[in-house]
Amino acid sequence: MNTNSIITKGESESVIVVNDDVNGPPVIQEFFSKLNINIEKNRWTCCCNICSLSVTDTYRTTSNFLKHIKTKHRLAFDEWKNSTNNKRQQLLTNSLIRNLIINMSLPLSIVDNESFMNFMLDIDPKYKMINRRDITRSFLPIMYKKCIKKLQDICNRSKYVSLTLDIWSDRRMRSYFGITLHTIIDDQHKTYVLSFERLKGKHSGDKLAAEFDRVIQMYNLKDKLVRIVT
């Protein structure tokens, strides 16, 4: 129940009336208000926000509230149900990509694994598994843009910054060029990776300078840069 609710008791001290919006089960939160709880009779009553009809049910159950919305306001119920399912689908998909594929570096092929599919169905039987094409062409680009926007906001908040530039190779001797930002925000030292690019061919100064200039412009760091460490 909302902590800001105005609660009053009747003469028998068995009736609780909540005068503001209801903070209860989802169907009540979405479609009802003016909650009245009769503790003595173990009943609660709400007013439908669409037709203003009062609906009563056994306390802490919602079957009558659901029945009312389904039968009297079917279109509103269907729209709400689809919206709820889409939110759940989006939440699980984003979590899968962010936590498993990005943070844990699991392969994209995990979404094709039958055991993993069964695991996701155990979590939510209505979940529709995404495919690798959608991950690479839709979800990852969107997340990347959001990440860039957050980094740009951080750079805008920073008064002074320093950068670390480094080149290294993996086990296959493929070379990479990385640029790391160091700054102080709210009296705390912060470090962020601004760029991590594969270097193909010779490591010419022109290539490194071009990538460095691109990062400086992307994050508007020209007038904030005080030191470079290589």
Closest CA to 80 of 148, 146, 17, 32: 32
Residues 6+ apart with CB under 8 A from 16: 7, 8, 9, 36, 37, 39
Classify residue 147: in a domain, yes or no. no
Q: Please give the model's pTM, rounded to 2 decimal places.
A: 0.58
Distance CA 168, CA 135 (A): 28
Residue 137 has a pLDDT of: 85
Q: Is the pLDDT of residue 192 over 50?
A: yes
Q: Is residue 141 part of a domain?
A: no
The reported pLDDT for the residue numbered 23 is: 58
Q: How many CA atoms lie within 13 A of 37 on its CB side?
A: 14
Can you give the pLDDT at residue 62? 87
φ, ψ for residue 209, nearest 5 deg: -65, -40
> What's the pLDDT band for 60 if we cut at 50, 70, 90?
confident
> Could you report the per-residue pLDDT of 141-176, keeping only the tens digit for each?
888 888 999 999 999 999 999 999 999 888 888 889
Q: Identify whether residues 83 and 103 lie together within a single domain.
A: yes
Confidence band, pLDDT 50/70/90 cuts, at residue 202? confident
Rounded-to-integer distance, Cα 151 and Cα 149, Å: 5
**Domain check: are 225 and 162 in the same one?**
yes
Residue 39 included in any domain: yes
Give the rounded percent of residues in the chain with a pLDDT score beyond 70.
88
Q: How many independent structural domains does the chain possess?
A: 3
Parent domain of 120: 76-130
Q: What is the mean pLDDT of residues 63-92?
A: 83
